[in-house]
Amino acid sequence: MRSSWLVNPLRCLKAWFSMGVGFSLAVLAAVTMILLYEIGQILCLYYSNSQMSYVMSGYLLGFSSMISGLTISLADIGYLCISSIISVSVHELGHALAAASEGIQMEYIAVFLASLFPGALVAFNHELLLALSKVSALRIYCAGVWHNAALCAVCAWALFVEPLILSPFYIHDEGPMVLDVSPTSPLSGYLSPGDVIISLDGIRINNLQEWSQMIAILTEHYENSQNHSLPGNSMKTSVGKGYCVPYSLIEESKHISLKGNETSCPDELSPFITIQCLDQAMPDDDNLEVNHQRDGGELHCLYATDILNLEKCGDGWGRIRNNRSSCLCSKDKACFVPLLSTGVAWVEIAYSNPPLQCSQLGTMRVVDDDNSRENPCVKTFVFVGDVNSMKPSVLLTSYQPRWSAKFGAHLPYVLEKFLMFTFNVSLALALLNSLPVYFLDGEAISEVIIHYLRFLSSRRRRTILQYFLLGGTVASILIIFVQVFLVLL
């Protein structure tokens, strides 16, 4: 005997859309509370975390950290348009399926452009909709929001299993690979497509998230180091990032004197100054002045490439070797730290190329060992400049192809960006249509909900509905203007 669920598939659809009703009503209540919260912020009724307020209202009104802002690229516009078409299609498909499960056929489909972005709507016979029960009508009205939520769940699941699905063809989380470097990037002279970043300042980097986190840490680290500037000079030390330089190399180095507030080295040389090897690797300003006076006002100009492979000293690196004093060097060496201009960072970047050959040699896993500097596949260079400028100027992916050809290297990145944009756009569309404003799904849903207030007369219910929709529309428009103002500010 067949199950009644298999005999009558419409019952399955009605159960599916009934779940959507509960979800949509919860979202409607949530966005209504957020509207009240935001209006309270604007009218200064109370104070709270402004950043959290910006994030909530951003998602509420269709913005997100990925889509909003003025730095959106041409490729991002393409992702946004395609994801909008898919999200709108899924939304309207939900309405159409819900209406078909109730025995109502659609009359026509309209496609339009809203602010250069695609939109669509499905029209039904209004008289047939009024003849339905309120519960059946509510299933149709809530179906669009429910299907957008389902699309978000599918995108989140696809992002979660993407490394597993692509594992036969790609290596994941073993170092971000360079896909493209902007010609104006400060890294363009060092990195090229196909290179794999291994570490920043000796800290192993496995994926894009760790890359972003490390840049944020380094930025904060250098911002907090402004008080380490030399007295009366615009130069500062590199926050304890020193090298044990042999005295033989120091004797061959060039010397310059401080002139006013400027310190410069000729050609491609960088200025260095010694620090005392005490328990504290980074002396305070007084120690720096004593050290400077002890050297007779002279700084040492060294080639950065000559000292990168030397033993490190100072407490500014990601780790302390051999549990020794972080500043301790042998007797024939001195601990030197670079002098940098204010706002300039000194960051060691280790990378490997080609990734496939080096991974086969096992060199991708020995970067933290002392012998890594002798590894022919691991190359190191120093980035001197604004740390934040590195992030937007280089395109990275957490996936590395298992073959040497460059074909298909961009596929995981494109797929990941597409899924993330579709998730954000579908979420924004679901929240927008849940708002209690005119001409959106929230209007029809609110009308059905207020109809169940049977203890009120029909006239009072209509009045409450109009005030509710008018208040929601005005509040949404006001919040949009505030958000645009904050973005442009």
Catalytic residue annotation: 92
Task: Write b or e for each residue in 220-233: b if 16 or more Cβ atoms lie within 10 A of its Cβ, otherwise e.
Answer: eebeebeebbbeeb
Q: Measured between alpha carbons, how far is 19 from 9 in angstroms, rounded to an integer? A: 16
What type of residue is 358? C
Residues 6+ apart with CB under 8 A from 113: 119
Residues 80, 426: contact at Cβ < 8 Å?
no
**Which two three-digit tokens encode residue 180?**
């493209």
Helix (H, G, I), strand (E, B) or coil at 427: helix
Angstrom distance (rounded) from CA 54 to CA 71: 18
Separation CA 428–CA 114 (nearest Å):
15
C-alpha distances (whole Å) from 489 to each of 59, 69, 70, 475 are: 19, 11, 11, 21
Q: Taking the mean position of all CA atoms in its chain, how far away is CA 295?
A: 46
Nearest-angstrom CA–CA distance, 312 and 474: 61
Q: Which amino acid is at 264?
A: S
Show the beta-strand stretches assigned E in 127-181. 170-181
Is residue 79 within 8 Å of 73, Cβ to Cβ?
A: no
Q: Measured over all CA atoms, what is the biggest interatomic distance in the chain, rounded to whole angstroms?
A: 100
Q: What are the residues facing 296 on neighbouring strands?
A: none
